[in-house]
Amino acid sequence: MYQGLHRAAEAIARALALAGGLVLLLIVGMTCVSIAGRALVPLDIGIGPIKGIYDMTEIAMAAAVFAFLPWAQLRDAHARVDLFQPAMPARLSLGLDLLFNIGMAVVAAVGSWRLYLGMQDRLAYGDTTLIAQIPVWQGYAASLVGAVGFVLVALFCVLRSARRLAGLEG
């Protein structure tokens, strides 16, 4: 059962990270087209700048950041200070890893919950971005996909840390 959970967590994290990378590539492409269009306006050729590029970039960047969180969690790649951890006994170090993973799972769950409530609020009020008039709740929804993946992967990481502490995994 554990191996199945590991494969599922890896698949979720990988798919979201790849989607986040694709979103970043699309942002780069849109930005290049918009800049080129803006540069060609005086010559009266091209499409001109993309209307609402700032709004689209803001929403896409938020979604990409949330999409990368599960991969960072699965790979233990979050920033941390472990100055004294190498000097600690192995069991204490594994116990701290478990504690930190529990903390990260709590942060992921609370963050996702608050993001969901924010999305509901923006949906109820009908807020839109200033320039492109994109409904703001859509940015929250796109970010929520990565946030939910982060919760699932963080919960798996708690299980993985508990297994390591119990000596079931190396």
Cα 42 versus chain centre, distance: 39
Q: Which of 133, 138, 123, 127 is nearest to 54 (CA)?
A: 133
Total residue count of the chain as it appears in this document: 170
- Give the separation between CA 141 and CA 138, rounded to whole angstroms: 5
Residue 138 has pLDDT above 70, yes or no: yes
DSSP β-bridge partners for residue 135 = 128
- Give the separation between CA 32 and CA 64, rounded to whole angstroms: 18
Q: Binning pLDDT at 50, 70 and 90, where does residue 170 land?
A: low
**Over residues 3-25, mean pLDDT:** 97
Residue 100's contacts (CB-CB under 8 Å, 6 or more residues apart) are 80
Q: How many helices (H) and strands (E) does the chain have?
A: 4, 0
- Residue 6 half-sphere exposure toward CB, CA atoms < 13 A: 8
Share of the chain above pLDDT 90, in %: 79
Residue 12 has pLDDT above 80, yes or no: yes
Q: What is the pLDDT of residues 45-81, one digit of tens each?
A: 778 889 999 999 999 999 999 999 999 999 999 877 7
For residue 40, what pLDDT is reported?
84
Least confident of 2-16, 61-75, 82-96, 106-120: 82-96
Residue 94: count other Cβ atoms within 10 Å of its Cβ. Answer: 18
Choose between 5 and 86: higher pLDDT: 5
**Over residues 85-96, mean pLDDT:** 88
Domain boundaries, the chain: 2-77+88-165
How many angstroms separate the Cα of 133 from the Cα of each of 24, 32, 51, 54, 130? 21, 22, 10, 12, 6
Whether 52 and 129 have beta carbons less than 8 Å apart is answered as yes
Least confident of 16-25, 29-38, 41-50, 65-74: 41-50
